[in-house]
Chain A
Amino acid sequence: MIAVLALMFALASGPAGAAAPDAPAAPPPAVAAPAATCRLPAGFAEAPVALPHARAAVAARKRLVVMALGGTPMASGVAGDAALGYPARMGAHLARLLPGVEVVIDNRAIPNRSARSMGQRLPEEIAQVRPDLVIWASGSRDALRKTDLAVYARTLQGGIAAIRAGGADAMLIDTQYAPGWAAIPMLDDYREVIETVAEMAEAPLFPRHLLMQDWHDHGVINLAETDQGQQVALARLLFDCLGDALARMVARGLAP
């Protein structure tokens, strides 16, 4: 068991360690192919999305700057390459969906960060990046630290206010769906807070949990895979699917 733990921490410790030796070296196929396998549950494509700041920016400048804020999965070490992480894949899919628009993705994710530490640096980072849209994933680190739900909620609310004050739209991303063992902490409570904050602030919420569960349940992506090499390949597929779904949701918010 020590060996398993050591391996796990090695994987957790940095992006470099995550590329398993027997992982396929080639990048995943181009945009269209994997996206075709990523089913989107009924209703996902219909929910209205309001992104007024981003829409105005795209209309005025033909340019969309997206800042990504999150923890380990968004930092993309699991895929072995930030270019294969879901913010980067979202950028690729957005470029396809928005011909003629320059899409810039600034991924500010750092592994193992709580919402609080992300929120504290948010105004500074917004001033640097000057984004039109901020996508913000959080919750699992906070659940692990057992941050008071009220403190967590206020951190998200303060972050949304800071994002809007900086002239950008905020889109929240809820916690990952994890089959089996990874579901040990009280993740559901934190996911409920994300939902409530998004609803109260009228900010769009990207239903990552629902999508991942749907893909897992329908055999699209086996999140319970234990083979290390397969895990990397599946993480790449997952990130491509998430990027695709995110891009479609954002594109819907930009449509006049």
Chain B
Amino acid sequence: MSGAAKSPRDYRLDFFRGLALFLIFLDHIPNNPLAHATLKTFALCDAAEVFILISGYTAALVYGRAMARDGTVLASLRIWRRVWQLYVAHLLVFLVYSAQVAYAMSRITNPLFVETLGLGEFLQRPDITLVRLMLLAFQPAYLDILPLYIALLGVFPLFLLLLRWHRGLALGLSAALYVAARYWEFNLPGNLDSDGWYFNPFAWQFLFMLAASVGVRHAEASGQGAATVPTWLVVLAAAFAAFAFVIQFSWVLHEAFPAVPALLRRLLWPLDKTTLAPLRILSVLSLAVLVARFVPRDAGWLTGRLGWPVVLCGQNSLDVFCLGILLSVLGGILLTEFGFAPAAVALVNLGGVTAMLALALGIAWYEAGGRLPPRPAAAPRSAP
């Protein structure tokens, strides 16, 4: 905590990471009506991009400082210890997920619908898929963000060294890999009959490293006060965010009301997610710039009664993320069993978010020795 006074934790990162976790939960409930009200309706990206962007920035901030303080070896080991935690979490989530899906499968008896069975590959060929699972080469639906995060953090020490040595070179290499992966379509091996990882790590590393390059700069400049965002960048970001909103929202509206034209659809649709289309990167970057400019680092609501629990979710992102994934599957099972009545939909969505908040509060309570940690008082304004 010694450095805390010098550069207080940026709660915006925790808050928006927590928010992304909620959106990932809502988006992953099959056929969830509420999923139409998440980020992917209003922007050309979704919560996955937000999560990877914040994770890249935070990793560079935290491990960049660690590398400066403790040296390369210790910082690398710290990163790999985190990778191990993520890997263990991934395997555990898979175990619970398998049980959930196996139960759901046992309820499908009509051979008309065999194609929609989720886990068939694993239950049919456990001898092959078990090994592939451990090599991250088997990723059932839902279980694909953690493998990406594991892969990105796994090579992060190398990239962090490069970033700290020469930022331009590091970013250039990352961009080249991104372009090459999109052009030659190479990917890590995925499920048995698929084309590769759902989140192609060679493409998605670019967003992570882009965010990390900003994080490294802020880590080096810590204590110098909040970096100001140049006005031209804010204007550009606002223009692009507005453009992305109009485009995406017109597509969504067109689905429901064919009279509304789907703007520029012939030109822009569909946007790749596996290879992370450039417009997706621009979309999430524009949102990040707007948040950096218009949400002050010391905004009172971040540590307020409503904001603080979300911040705690972001601070315990691994646990809350894993719970969210399992709750999505459970939510799908419950809605399937009891039907999509508005009350049931509301209950499942609210119940899930409440459970995620409760877990975060519980962890905070436990770690503070059996009491909830005091909310930080509204940070002192820079000018009195």
Interface centre among B102, B111, B270 (most CB of A within 10 A): B111
Chain A residues whose C-beta falls within 8 Å of the C-beta of B123 in the assembled complex: 5
Contacts A9-B124, A183-B336 hold; do A223 and B109 have CB atoms under 8 A apart? no
Contacts A148-B272, A200-B266 hold; do A183 and B110 have CB atoms under 8 A apart? no
User: Are B110 and A223 in contact, CB atoms less than 8 angstroms apart?
Assistant: yes
User: Are B111 and A18 in contact, CB atoms less than 8 angstroms apart?
Assistant: yes
Chain A residues whose C-beta falls within 8 Å of the C-beta of B114 in the assembled complex: 8, 11-12, 72, 111-112
Give the nearest-CB partner of A143 in chain B.
B116
User: Are A182 and B274 in contact, CB atoms less than 8 angstroms apart?
Assistant: no
Tell me the bound Cα distance from A175 to B104 in angstroms. 20
Tell me the bound Cα distance from A224 to B336 in angstroms. 12
Q: Which of A1-41 contact B (CB under 8 A)?
A: 1, 4-5, 8-9, 11-12, 18
Given contacts A12-B117, A149-B273, 16 further A-B contacts (CB under 8 A): A1-B106, A72-B112, A72-B114, A77-B111, A140-B113, A144-B115, A144-B117, A144-B141, A145-B191, A178-B116, A182-B112, A182-B113, A183-B31, A184-B30, A184-B104, A184-B332
Q: Which of B320-368 contact A (CB under 8 A)?
A: 332-333, 336-337
User: Are A185 and B141 in contact, CB atoms less than 8 angstroms apart?
Assistant: yes
- In the complex, whether B298 has a CB less than 8 A from a CB of chain A is no
- In the complex, whether B82 has a CB less than 8 A from a CB of chain A is no
User: Are A187 and B270 in contact, CB atoms less than 8 angstroms apart?
Assistant: no
Question: Which of the segments A93-101, A121-129, A150-158, A247-255 contacts the partner chain?
Answer: A150-158
Tell me the bound Cα distance from A228 to B108 in angstroms. 12
User: Are B107 and A235 in contact, CB atoms less than 8 angstroms apart?
Assistant: no
User: Are B112 and A73 in contact, CB atoms less than 8 angstroms apart?
Assistant: yes
- In the complex, whether A107 has a CB less than 8 A from a CB of chain B is no
Chain B residues whose C-beta falls within 8 Å of the C-beta of A8 in the assembled complex: 105, 108-109, 111, 114, 117
* Tally of contact residues, B, Cβ under 8 A: 45
User: Are B112 and A176 in contact, CB atoms less than 8 angstroms apart?
Assistant: yes
Tell me the bound Cα distance from A96 to B78 in angstroms. 73
* Residues of B near any A CB (own CB < 8 A): 30-31, 101-118, 120, 123-124, 141, 144, 191, 193-195, 198, 255, 265-266, 269-275, 277, 332-333, 336-337
Tell me the bound Cα distance from A150 to B265 in angstroms. 13
Closest CB-CB distance, B277 to chain A, in whole Å?
7
Chain B residues whose C-beta falls within 8 Å of the C-beta of A1 in the assembled complex: 102-103, 106
* Residues of A near any B CB (own CB < 8 A): 1, 4-5, 8-9, 11-12, 18, 71-73, 77-78, 111-112, 114, 116-117, 140-141, 143-151, 153-154, 176, 178, 180-188, 192-193, 195-196, 200, 223-226, 228, 231, 235, 238
Give the nearest-CB partner of B110 in chain A.
A231
User: Are A184 and B118 in contact, CB atoms less than 8 angstroms apart?
Assistant: yes
Chain B residues whose C-beta falls within 8 Å of the C-beta of A140 in the assembled complex: 113, 115-116
Closest 5 CB pairs of A and B: A182-B113, A150-B270, A148-B274, A12-B114, A11-B111
User: Are B113 and A145 in contact, CB atoms less than 8 angstroms apart?
Assistant: no
Chain B residues whose C-beta falls within 8 Å of the C-beta of A18 in the assembled complex: 111
Chain B residues whose C-beta falls within 8 Å of the C-beta of A154 in the assembled complex: 270
Chain A residues whose C-beta falls within 8 Å of the C-beta of B266 in the assembled complex: 200
User: Are B270 and A153 in contact, CB atoms less than 8 angstroms apart?
Assistant: yes
Chain A binding site: helix, strand, loop or mixed by DSSP?
helix
User: Are B269 and A153 in contact, CB atoms less than 8 angstroms apart?
Assistant: yes
Tell me the bound Cα distance from A196 to B30 in angstroms. 20
Chain A residues whose C-beta falls within 8 Å of the C-beta of B269 in the assembled complex: 153, 196, 200
Chain B residues whose C-beta falls within 8 Å of the C-beta of A195 in the assembled complex: 255
Tell me the bound Cα distance from A175 to B106 in angstroms. 22
Contacts A116-B195, A149-B273 hold; do A225 and B110 have CB atoms under 8 A apart? yes
Interface centre among B108, B112, B270, B332 (most CB of A within 10 A): B112
Closest CB-CB distance, A232 to chain B, in whole Å?
9
Tell me the bound Cα distance from A1 to B119 in angstroms. 15
Tell me the bound Cα distance from A18 to B108 in angstroms. 15
Give the nearest-CB partner of B28 in chain A.
A186
Partner of A78, one of B104, B108, B111: B111
Contacts A146-B141, A200-B266 hold; do A181 and B336 have CB atoms under 8 A apart? yes
User: Are B270 and A146 in contact, CB atoms less than 8 angstroms apart?
Assistant: no
Partner of A148, one of B103, B115, B273: B273
Closest CB-CB distance, A160 to chain B, in whole Å?
14
Tell me the bound Cα distance from A206 to B114 in angstroms. 21
User: Are B336 and A12 in contact, CB atoms less than 8 angstroms apart?
Assistant: no
Closest CB-CB distance, B338 to chain A, in whole Å?
10
Contacts A12-B114, A192-B255 hold; do A5 and B105 have CB atoms under 8 A apart? yes
Partner of B113, one of A116, A147, A150, A176: A176
Partner of B112, one of A141, A196, A223: A223
Closest CB-CB distance, B31 to chain A, in whole Å?
5
Q: List 19 A-B contacts (CB under 8 A).
A: A8-B109, A9-B120, A11-B114, A71-B115, A114-B193, A140-B115, A143-B116, A148-B198, A148-B273, A154-B270, A181-B107, A183-B116, A184-B336, A185-B30, A185-B141, A187-B116, A226-B109, A226-B110, A231-B109
Tell me the bound Cα distance from A196 to B250 in angstroms. 13
User: Are B111 and A180 in contact, CB atoms less than 8 angstroms apart?
Assistant: no
User: Are B109 and A4 in contact, CB atoms less than 8 angstroms apart?
Assistant: yes
Tell me the bound Cα distance from A88 to B101 in angstroms. 34
Tell me the bound Cα distance from A195 to B101 in angstroms. 28
Tell me the bound Cα distance from A195 to B258 in angstroms. 11
Chain B residues whose C-beta falls within 8 Å of the C-beta of A224 in the assembled complex: 110
Tell me the bound Cα distance from A185 to B112 in angstroms. 15
Closest CB-CB distance, A69 to chain B, in whole Å?
14
Closest CB-CB distance, A21 to chain B, in whole Å?
14
Closest CB-CB distance, B252 to chain A, in whole Å?
10
User: Are A186 and B270 in contact, CB atoms less than 8 angstroms apart?
Assistant: no
